[in-house]
Structure 1
Amino acid sequence: MILIIAILIIIIIFLFIRLFLIRRQVMGINEQIIDINRNKEDKKLTVGLINKELEELAKNINITLDLKKQCEIREIELQNDLRQTIANISHDLRTPLTSIIGYIQFLKLDNTSEEEKKEYLETAERRAKSLEVLLNDFYELSLIESLDYKINLEKVKFNRIIKEIVLGRYSDFINIGITPNIQILEEDVYIIAEHKSLERVIENLLSNAIRYAKDKISISLEIEESIAILKVSNNIRNLTNHDVEKVFDRFYMADKTRSGKGSGLGLAIVKGLVERMNGNIEADIVGDIFNIYCRFKIINI
């Protein structure tokens, strides 16, 4: 009887000590969380090897802290991106608006000839149209990036759409003195996409090539392991790997003075639409050749 009592006392003492240690660990975890939240430190919880459940709890809390840190970093990136976007919009709106206002002031001068007034009016109109393009592009991009943007996916003949758009833009190639190298599969290639969005993607890719090519443009459609790859290439001046990494960002231009012809939104719109259609888009530079690859999964008919 005495032995049983002694064993029970030992068990009670052991349980009491264990309970005390677990309580200390819980208090330690709580203090660590308070300290992390108060000091905004990038720290992890540390737990002694006493209770597996507490170890698992600390592990899950650390995962949550990591996710919280990632969200904070992402929020900072989004805020910086928003500030940069606002700055770019302000710059791109102010430049043509200032120009338009200036030409209107010239038109009001009494000593302005009719010929000069006509020239000023035409210039102001061109600047107004460039402003309209910028606003339309930004509005379209904001729609594409919104969570509730709807896209109507359907089976489309990829190669036919490419051929039609390339043919429609052929005069633009001729106007800049470039005969494009076109290699598009004759066999029918079907993918799941939205017809009008796919047309916009191809139009923007060709416009980008026409705008920045030195003297070479290539357009091809190939198949690799059930993937249709539209590749648009052009040679270009002074493009770096850093530029290629940023090329799909909103308002990004390799021309740091932002004095180019584009709005800096065309390729951002392309990326948004391609991803909405479950495709993939990448860019690279080989020598002086800038390449953009659009990949879509082929479907069997």
Structure 2
Amino acid sequence: MVYIIIFLLIICVFLAFRLFYVEGQIKSITNQIVYINANKVDKKITIGLLNKKIEKLAEKINEIIQIKKQSEANKVKLENDLRQTIANMSHDLRTPLTSIIGYIQFLKLDNTSEDEKKEYLDIAEKRAKALEVLLNDFYELSLIESLDYELNLEKLNINKILQECILGKYTDFINRDINPRIEIPKNNIYIIAEEKSLQRVIENLLSNSVKYAKDNVEVCLKLEKNTAILQVKNTVEDLTLDDVKNIFNRFYMADKTRSGKGTGLGLAIVKGLVHKMNGSISADIKENVLSICCRFQKV
């Protein structure tokens, strides 16, 4: 009987010690969490107890800390992107508005001739139309990037749509004295997409190549296994790898003075629409030739 009592006492002492030690570890974990939250340090929870449940708890807490850290980093990036977008938008709005106001003030001058008035009106109208394009592009992009924006996807002949878009841009190529090299297979390729969105993608890619090509433009549609690949290439000047990495970002322009020919939204719209149509898009540059590839699943 005495041995049983001694044995039970030993067990009680052991359990009491273990409980005290577990409580100490829980208190240590709590203090570490408080310290991490208060000081915002990059640190993980550590424990000194070989207990599977406590180890699992510490592991899950570390996962939550990592998720929180990533979330805060994403929040900072989004805030920076928003500030940059607002700054770019303000600049791009202010430039044509200032020009329009300036020409309107010229029109009010008494010594302005009728020919000058007509010239100033034409310039003001051109600036107003550029402003309208910018606002329309920004509105379209905001719609595309919204989570609830859906496309009416259907089976489409990409060969036919590409040919129509190239014919629509024929005058632009002629005006730039560019004779594009075009490769479209004889066999029709079908993909799942929305017709007006696919047209918008192709038109934006062609417009971008016409505006910024140094001399040569290539448009190629091909089939690799079960993937339809639309590739638009054009020669460029002073375009860096960093420019290519950021080429699909909103308002990004290789021209840092933002005095170029576009709004900086065209390729961002392309990327958004391609992703909405379950495709992928990439850009690369080799030997001063910019290549943009869109990939869609063949059906």
TM-score with structure 1 setting the length: 0.98
CA contact (8 A) 2:217 2:232 kept: yes
**Which amino acid letter does the alignment assign opposite residue 43 of structure 2?**
K
Kindly indicate whether residue 294 of structure 2 is the aligned counterpart of residue 294 of structure 1. yes
Q: Deviations over 1:211-235 (max 9, x none)?
A: 0001100000111221111000100
Measured after TM superposition, the shift of residue 103 of structure 1 is 0.4
CA contact (8 A) 1:22 1:50 kept: no
**Within-5 A mapping of 1:51-130:** 51-130=51-130
Partner of 1:29: 29
Local SS of the residue matching 2:186: coil
Runs of 4 or more, structure 1, over 4 Å off, are none
CA contact (8 A) 2:232 2:292 kept: yes
CA contact (8 A) 2:25 2:49 kept: no
Partners of 1:142 and 1:74 lie apart in 2 by 19
Partners of 1:155 and 1:186 lie apart in 2 by 18
Partners of 1:108 and 1:36 lie apart in 2 by 65
Partners of 2:107 and 2:134 lie apart in 1 by 25
Local SS of the residue matching 1:295: strand
RMSD: 0.8
Structure 2 stretches of 5 or more lacking a match?
none
Measured after TM superposition, the shift of residue 172 of structure 1 is 1.2
Partners of 1:58 and 1:227 lie apart in 2 by 46
Kindly indicate whether residue 138 of structure 2 is the aligned counterpart of residue 138 of structure 1. yes
**Which amino acid letter does the alignment assign opposite residue 47 of structure 1?**
I
Partners of 2:76 and 2:200 lie apart in 1 by 32
Partner of 1:168: 168
Local SS of the residue matching 2:269: helix
Partners of 1:158 and 1:2 lie apart in 2 by 91
Segment drifting more, 239-248 vs 17-26:
17-26
Partners of 1:237 and 1:267 lie apart in 2 by 18
Kindly indicate whether residue 8 of structure 2 is the aligned counterpart of residue 40 of structure 1. no
Partners of 1:141 and 1:9 lie apart in 2 by 74
Partner of 1:195: 195
Measured after TM superposition, the shift of residue 18 of structure 1 is 1.0
Partner of 1:279: 279
Measured after TM superposition, the shift of residue 187 of structure 1 is 0.8
Segment drifting more, 241-250 vs 2-11:
2-11
Local SS of the residue matching 2:203: helix
Local SS of the residue matching 1:230: strand
**Which amino acid letter does the alignment assign opposite residue 282 of structure 2?**
E
Kindly indicate whether residue 218 of structure 2 is the aligned counterpart of residue 218 of structure 1. yes
Q: Deviations over 1:130-150 (max 9, x none)?
A: 000000000000011111112
**Which amino acid letter does the alignment assign opposite residue 179 of structure 1?**
N
Q: Deviations over 1:231-270 (max 9, x none)?
A: 0010000000000000000000000000001000000000
TM-score with structure 2 setting the length: 0.98
Partners of 1:242 and 1:69 lie apart in 2 by 27
Local SS of the residue matching 2:192: strand
Partners of 1:180 and 1:41 lie apart in 2 by 56
Partners of 2:47 and 2:186 lie apart in 1 by 65
Count of residues in Structure 1 that have an aligned counterpart in Structure 2:
299
Q: Aligned residues: percent identity?
A: 63
